[in-house]
Structure 1
Amino acid sequence: MNTCSFFLLLCPLLFSQTEATLFGCGLLQCQFSSSGDVVYLAKMFFNKLLWADYNSTLGKYTGYTEKAIEVVDGFNKNKEFLKREQNNLELCKTHVQLVLDVLSKSAVEPSVTLRSADLSGSRHPSMLVCSAYNFYPKQIRLSWLRNGKEVTSDVMSTEELPSGNWLYQIHSHLELTHTSGDTIACQVEHASLLKPKLYEWESISESERNKFAVGAAALLLGLVVLGGGLIYNKRCTNGRQLVPTSAG
């Protein structure tokens, strides 16, 4: 039988006296098993030592020092105190199903997009943005690789942001000056993936882009000239008249 627990409340307390300062802490804990049993515990600590507790299985408080035994004896005679702890037990039971739903939720693979954005007033001419959407659980890692090596400078990332329905999103930004031949990729590591997944940014350098633009313009100009020649030739053919000749 497997047993798990979760904490409802952790409240640090500070007690000041003329002689010394006492540090106290009250901890409310729910324990539940696979068989459906639920146990509620309320623990009180002073200076890191367990001072007293309430156990729903016993239905009473227990003191662990001479002074605590004296104090909890009064607690156990107070019906309001005992009723409050019973209400906390019921609160534990209502939260168990919620915890089980979260623990049993399967990992959801993120949907990843990679895009570029122009920057104004920056020493870098462009920015790449890697976004992961609708993933679970929350823990995820986005990293940037240039030619297979991780990039650590000029990288900014958000925290995991809730998207609703227990799903999350995150965004990572890379400012860069892209040079010809570089391979830039966003690497995603998540529980839903058997191994890190790479998303490569496919782009061409500025010089290659200029060559492509010049070539496209030349091709377009050639098509225009060719089209104009065909139209002129057709008009000349339609306007030409044949003159008959007589045999000698």
Structure 2
Amino acid sequence: MRSASLAMLLMVLLRLSAQGNATPENHVCQVSVECYYTFNGTQRLMIRYVYNREEFLYFDSEAWGFHAVTELGRLITERLNKLNLEELGLTRAKVDSACRESYQELESLTVQRRVRPKVNVSPSKKGSSQHQHLLVCHVTDFYPGDLQVRWFLNGQEETDGVVSTNLIRNGDWTFQILVMLEMNPHAGDVYTCHVEHPSLDSPITVDWKAQSDLARSKMLTGVGGLVLGLVFLAVGVFMHRKSKKVQRGSR
């Protein structure tokens, strides 16, 4: 389709050049083919012709004909539109098939592509107050960008205090997003990040359970006691070995 129309254009350009209408020593003719798609399944083909880096005419399948952009394009368009377009390989069936084949390849790479998201939930302190926190739901590495993230507290959806970043492009055809919830946790509270995405048969839910201050204090006390005990043990072993060496030296 394109080779026939391009050959015809080259013949016309050479003829114009011979007539003195175009005189550059070097002639560069380029063709750009564009397909536009609609949701109802129709395709529109645009073929743009560039001569010495300047577009001079284009073919539009929607208007079904050649259209001039410059004076040079007008001279050629008059000739082309007098021809039978089928002689140039331009038929509606070929135009439709050319765009449809390109669309099927594009669809297999993008439209039908599905990548499951990864979800991580972690707390982050906000400001100086020990009782105001942000709970962060970090959703990463998903495609397409159509995603819904909701927060639940003890099974009830939370809508107040929810803050979200814009969709972030990773540069590898995947996305990430952070959805944060302002919270004032109490012992036993269960916060849930609920993620829905086209790649999932069922939503991903990740829980975060609030611990009481007493439980955290006991845990820290226990860890501190363990570390202190190990320190005393190490010192005791060192002193015991040193005393044995002193006793051996006195003999």
TM-score for both structures, normalised by structure 2? 0.54
Distance 1:240 1:166 in 2: 73
The one-letter amino acid paired with 1:114 is: V
Q: Displacement, 1:134?
A: 2.7
User: Are the aligned partners of 1:143 and 1:151 in contact in 2 as well (CA < 8 Å)?
Assistant: yes
Aligned residue in 2 for 1:143: 150
Q: Displacement, 1:171?
A: 1.8
Structure 1 residue 192 and structure 2 residue 199: aligned? yes
Question: Quick one: which of 215, 229, 233 aligns to 2:222?
Answer: 215
Distance 1:221 1:112 in 2: 37
Distance 1:122 1:105 in 2: 47
The one-letter amino acid paired with 1:101 is: L
Greater strand share, structure number: 1
Per-residue CA deviations over 1:95-138 (Å, capped at 9, x if unaligned) read: 97257524652221112232332211579532122122232222
Distance 1:153 1:201 in 2: 18
Cα gap change, 1:235 to 1:138, in 2 (>3 Å): closer
Per-residue CA deviations over 1:59-97 (Å, capped at 9, x if unaligned) read: 58xxxxxxxxxxxxxxxxx969x79xx99x979955972
* Unpaired stretches in structure 2, ≥5 consecutive residues: 1-36, 47-59, 66-76
Structure 1 residue 175 and structure 2 residue 168: aligned? no
Identity of aligned residues (%): 28
Aligned residue in 2 for 1:231: 238
Per-residue CA deviations over 1:138-185 (Å, capped at 9, x if unaligned) read: 211011122222211111123434334543322201111222112222
Question: Quick one: which of 38, 42, 48 aligns to 1:31?
Answer: 42
Distance 1:177 1:121 in 2: 14
Segment drifting more, 90-99 vs 165-174: 90-99
Cα gap change, 1:159 to 1:58, in 2 (>3 Å): closer
Greater helix share, structure number: 2
Q: Displacement, 1:194?
A: 0.6
User: Are the aligned partners of 1:30 and 1:39 in contact in 2 as well (CA < 8 Å)?
Assistant: no
The number of residues matched between the two structures is: 177
Cα gap change, 1:91 to 1:164, in 2 (>3 Å): farther
User: Are the aligned partners of 2:124 and 2:133 in contact in 1 as well (CA < 8 Å)?
Assistant: yes
Structure 1 residue 127 and structure 2 residue 134: aligned? yes
Distance 2:102 2:129 in 1: 51
Cα gap change, 1:193 to 1:234, in 2 (>3 Å): same
Distance 1:205 1:181 in 2: 7
Cα gap change, 1:96 to 1:127, in 2 (>3 Å): farther
The one-letter amino acid paired with 1:228 is: V
Cα gap change, 1:175 to 1:95, in 2 (>3 Å): farther
Question: Quick one: which of 97, 101, 110 aligns to 2:106?
Answer: 101
Distance 1:161 1:226 in 2: 52
User: Are the aligned partners of 2:120 and 2:139 in contact in 1 as well (CA < 8 Å)?
Assistant: yes
Question: Quick one: which of 38, 53, 62 aligns to 1:6?
Answer: 38
Distance 1:137 1:146 in 2: 28
Distance 1:117 1:210 in 2: 19
Cα gap change, 1:161 to 1:196, in 2 (>3 Å): same
